[in-house]
Amino acid sequence: MNIAFAGNPNVGKTALINAIAGSKLKVGNWPGVTVEKKEAEFKYKGEKIQLVDLPGTYSLSPYTVEERITRDFIINEDPDCVINVIDSTNLERNLYLTLLLMEMEKPIVIALNIFDEFEKSGYKIDLDKFKKYLGIDVIPTVATKNKGLNELMDKAIEVAKSKKHYKEMKYSLLFDRFIENEINKLIEKLKKEKLPNKYPLRWLAIKLIEKDEYIIQILKKETEKDISSLAKEHIMVIEERFNDDTETILTEARYGIINGILKDTLKKPKNYNIPFTEKVDKIVTNKYLGLPIFLALMYIVFKLTFDGSGPFIDWVDGFINGYIGKYVSLALTGAPNWLNSLVINGIIGGVGLVLTFVPLMLFIYFFLALLEESGYMSRAAFVLDKIMHSIGLNGKSFIPMILGFGCNVPAIYATRALENEKDRKLTAVLVPFMSCGARLPIYALFTGVFFVKYQAYVVLLMYILGIAVAIVVGLLLKNTKPFETAKSPLLLELPPYRVPSAKMLFGSMWIRTKAFLRKAGSIILMAMIILWAAINLPYGSTPNNSYLAKAAKVVAPVFTPAGFNKWQAVASVLPGIIAKESVVGALGQTLGVEKKSEKKKTSFIQDTRKQIMGLIKATIDSFRNMFISFTPGIFKIESISNSTFSQKIRTVFTPLSAFSYMVFMLLFIPCIVTLAAIKQEFGWGLMFFEIGLLTIIPYIVSVIVYQGGRLLGFH
Amino acid sequence: MPLSMANKDKFLKITNIVGGRNVKQRLSALGLYPGSVIKMVTNDFGGPLIVEVNNSKIAIGRGMAQKILVNEI
């Protein structure tokens, strides 16, 4: 049995679905678009239920992706029942969508959600009369307190089972007699055409009268006929009579119906306002305070996310590479060396890489859900709208950008907070220019060798350069077709502040992290094996004559204009795609600096105990980092103590070419995990575009830097 | 007058929306259509503004607010 949930944004639909489906929820994207799709399969009282969460929408016009998805789903997938979740404290607007859904003639049950607040604030509704007017069953629910959920599901199943009758279902809500007359005349005409019977004729007639281009186009494709001409005469008659365009006339007519019902059934309290929301908004959306408050909140989110997840990331890294790796390697004793290396460095290394991101994902998704569900996110968009508008981005784009300074991967996923698809794409394209934490070791190495006195300034310059390049690229892309965003002016609801339930936050955090593991994991693993092959084959080669080194020797002259044409520098670029910090290690290897490896013999039990103790310590450290210490740990720069390394670096780089190399590394592909995140969220197309962009731009900029530097007399 | 010129705390009635079907449709889905009564909550003359309609607050970009014509009531 197929049950779809539809409703306005911010009506507690997600909370309701979480409460019903819980851990069974899976999150993905609707095919071809980046709108999040949640679905679940489970058994309820012996009935197999397929639950689908339709995107939150205010209407079913053809103008936004979300609304088209909802429409197409209801028409094409023919759900057995649509549960329309509505905010009972805002019936007038919510019922607008209800009427549109009813026009589609599918079995509907209404969940009158947030009913506790409704009663508390003094509203009264005559439920029986209300149901009779609508001709639909209405169940009061409180998703956050698990109230009314069973009744809702029981009713939905009951309604769904009576499905065969739905075509005979007569909703008693009609437009005024004049409009209704024209609709009926058009229906008669449509009956004579052979149209796919998935379209209810009355709905089709209404859409044609509303001049709905989208449905006209679809019908043209499906039937190779243009039936829009049938409606022309009726559109003219109606527009002449009411002296307005049909879209507006029908919209007002629907609100007329709603107001009629509510007048007879709803008693509003004399003075309804939410004092808490009013008070908070006065401060948070204040002309002067808004921005500082936003920045302070962002700092807190940034700090808690990266400082809190850091110790767990280190622990996971040690657990997979040190502990699991060691014992898998032991188990492979006797196997050929290349196999051992492939398994340990390629496969386990890849799995380890994916898993080290899990703590970060959990933290970031938790805070994103908190910002979103509490209602603050839309205030942030309001506060930032003016600033971000000037560089062609939506106010909410600020959040992924800031997160990008910690790590690009969660930043890519954070673009989910943006409603507009093109805004999301442009933001995701620009995120990699934000200098993430993993690039610091590279800066630390080179500034430690060449710019000891000005270390901090040079590093700061890198951050600023990244932002500057992002702004320039943003301005250039904004006027190209795939990223054109200027046409989406701000229009959004500022929902009342609500305390999100812990269940909801943790649920959202877990299902999204699971999707990351499933979707991004496989791509990363594949890329890791390919990279392993490039770096290590032919097997038994030294860093001097691997395929990578040979290729680097051929490609190196290309980088002459950028100042770093030694093969060691070029060969170290590729491992940087695994993770930027591995550039330092790769340089060490290609330059022939020995790494000291310490191997102490420890027993399995000792090792296991060490891992458990490590996890406990990581938990303690995480709390301490988040709530006690106040200096973000990632900004620490490691000092370079290895003097032979420093000497060898000087044989390959000059100060200017080192600076140019740092610029290249700043702007080059951040890592495969970021690429995998872009693939997961936006598909192959944007990923390859990003690879191209992040290869060409760093080349151009580092050439400009090197040649410009030479002109200024640096070397 | 356009909505963008209205003062804080005033009650307003929408008289007309000048704009494409897209704009009209998006606004009316949020309860903003000719005839609806709204209240100006925040208007700092620069950047977006906030209005209240049926208990819900809506943030509207300045450009769009210029296309909504209102009368003070």
Grade residue A632 by pLDDT with cuts at 50, 70 and 90.
very low
Q: How far apart are CA A215 and CA A225, in angstroms?
A: 12
Q: Is residue A444 part of a domain?
A: yes
The pLDDT of residue A115 is 94
The alpha-carbon gap from A94 to the nearest alpha carbon of chain B, in Å, equals 9
Contacts of B35 (CB under 8 A, 6+ apart): A252, A255, B13, B14
**A348-A349-A353-A354 Cα dihedral, nearest 10 degrees:** -30
Which of A64, A247, A285 comes nearest B50 by C-beta? A285
The alpha-carbon gap from A428 to the nearest alpha carbon of chain B, in Å, equals 23
pLDDT in tens, A659-702: 999 999 999 998 888 998 898 888 889 999 999 999 999 999 99
Which three-class secondary structure state does DSSP give residue A147? strand
Helices A290-317 and A275-284, packing angle to 10 deg: 90
What the block records as the tokens of A363 is 């933290």
pLDDT in tens, A208-223: 999 988 888 888 888 8
Among A208, A226, A209, residue whose Cα is nearest residue A217: A226
* A329 pLDDT higher than 60: yes
Grade residue A53 by pLDDT with cuts at 50, 70 and 90.
very high
* A636 pLDDT higher than 50: no
* Domain coverage including residue A352: 291-485+500-598+635-711
Residues A154 and A188 in one domain: no
Grade residue A344 by pLDDT with cuts at 50, 70 and 90.
confident
What CATH number did the domain enclosing A162 receive? 3.40.50.300
The alpha-carbon gap from B35 to the nearest alpha carbon of chain A, in Å, equals 9
Mean pLDDT of chain A: 84
Q: Is residue A433 part of a domain?
A: yes
Q: Which residues of A touch B3 (CB under 8 A)?
A: none
The pLDDT of residue A541 is 65
Task: Give the rounded percent of residues in chain A with a pLDDT score beyond 70.
Answer: 91
Contacts of A552 (CB under 8 A, 6+ apart): A567, A568, A570, A571, A574
Q: Is residue A466 part of a domain?
A: yes
What CATH number did the domain enclosing A227 receive? 1.10.287.1770
**Scanning the structure block, which residue is given the tokens 């006209």?**
A216
What the block records as the tokens of A474 is 């943003």
What secondary structure, in 3-state letters, does A333-352 show?
Answer: CCCCHHHHHHHHHHHHHHHH
What secondary structure, in 3-state letters, does A661-713 show?
Answer: HHHHHHHCCCCHHHHHHHHHHHCHHHHHHHHHHHHHHHHHHHHHHHHHHHHCC
Task: Give the rounded percent of residues in chain A with a pLDDT score beyond 90.
Answer: 25
Residues A161 and A184 in one domain: no
Residues A457 and A563 in one domain: yes
Asked if A455 and A448 count as a contact pair (C-beta separation under 8 A), the reply is: yes
Q: Is residue A617 part of a domain?
A: no
* A139 pLDDT higher than 70: yes
Contact between chains at A382 and B48 (C-beta distance less than 8 A): yes
What the block records as the tokens of A628 is 């006690």
The pLDDT of residue A639 is 45
Sort strands B56-60 and B49-53 into parallel, antiparallel or unpaired: antiparallel
Single residue among A110, A140, A168 that ends a domain in this structure: A168
What the block records as the tokens of A325 is 């790796």
* A589 pLDDT higher than 80: no
Which residues of A touch chain B, with CB atoms under 8 Å apart?
57-59, 61, 63-64, 89-90, 92-93, 96-97, 211, 245, 247-248, 251-252, 255, 272-273, 281, 285, 287, 378, 381-382, 385-386, 389, 489-495
Total domains, chain A: 3
Which of A59, A90, A489 comes nearest B63 by C-beta? A489
Q: What are residue A84's DSSP bridge partners?
A: A6, A110
The alpha-carbon gap from B37 to the nearest alpha carbon of chain A, in Å, equals 13
> Per-residue pLDDT averaged across A609-616, rounded?
88
Residue of B nearest to A246 (CA): B21
Q: Is residue A349 part of a domain?
A: yes
The pLDDT of residue A172 is 57
* A641 pLDDT higher than 60: no
Q: Is residue A620 part of a domain?
A: no
First to last CA, chain B: 12
Q: How far apart are CA A206 and CA A202, in angstroms?
A: 6
The alpha-carbon gap from A433 to the nearest alpha carbon of chain B, in Å, equals 27
What the block records as the tokens of A424 is 């999301």
Q: How far apart are CA A24 and CA A241, in angstroms?
A: 53
Single residue among A127, A150, A168 that ends a domain in this structure: A168
Sort strands A2-7 and A81-87 into parallel, antiparallel or unpaired: parallel
Contact between chains at A251 and B61 (C-beta distance less than 8 A): no
Q: Is residue A614 part of a domain?
A: no
The alpha-carbon gap from A17 to the nearest alpha carbon of chain B, in Å, equals 23
Q: H-helix or E-strand containing A601? A: none
Residues A242 and A148 in one domain: no
Single residue among A146, A168, A190 that ends a domain in this structure: A168
Contact between chains at B35 and A252 (C-beta distance less than 8 A): yes
Q: Which residues of B touch A489 (CB under 8 A)?
A: 60-61, 63-64
Which of B33, B50, B56 comes nearest A255 by C-beta? B33
Phi, psi of A489 (to 5 degrees): -65, 155
Q: Which residues of A touch B21 (CB under 8 A)?
A: 63, 211, 245, 247
Residues A188 and A164 in one domain: no
* A247 pLDDT higher than 50: yes
- How far is residue A280 from each of residues A1, A288, A319, A398, A432, measured CA to CA in Å? 44, 14, 45, 21, 34
Chain A interface test: which of B24, B26, B43, B64 (most A C-beta within 10 Å):
B26
Residues A345 and A261 in one domain: no
Total domains, chain B: 1
What CATH number did the domain enclosing B7 receive? 2.30.30.90
The pLDDT of residue A633 is 45
Asked if B35 and B28 count as a contact pair (C-beta separation under 8 A), the reply is: no
Residues A252 and A313 in one domain: no
Contact between chains at A251 and B25 (C-beta distance less than 8 A): yes
What the block records as the tokens of A476 is 């250039």
Contact between chains at B61 and A493 (C-beta distance less than 8 A): no
The pLDDT of residue A705 is 92
Contact between chains at B42 and A89 (C-beta distance less than 8 A): no
Q: How far apart are CA A97 and CA A95, in angstroms?
A: 5
* Domain coverage including residue B68: 3-72
The alpha-carbon gap from A109 to the nearest alpha carbon of chain B, in Å, equals 21
The pLDDT of residue A638 is 44
Highest mean pLDDT pick, A399-413, A457-471, A516-530: A457-471
Q: CB A167: neighbour CB atoms within 10 A?
A: 9
Q: What are residue A87's DSSP bridge partners?
A: A113
Chain A interface test: which of B57, B66, B68, B69 (most A C-beta within 10 Å):
B57
The pLDDT of residue A487 is 55
Residues A587 and A655 in one domain: yes
Chain B interface test: which of A57, A89, A98, A490 (most B C-beta within 10 Å):
A490
Q: Is residue A691 part of a domain?
A: yes
Residues A334 and A401 in one domain: yes
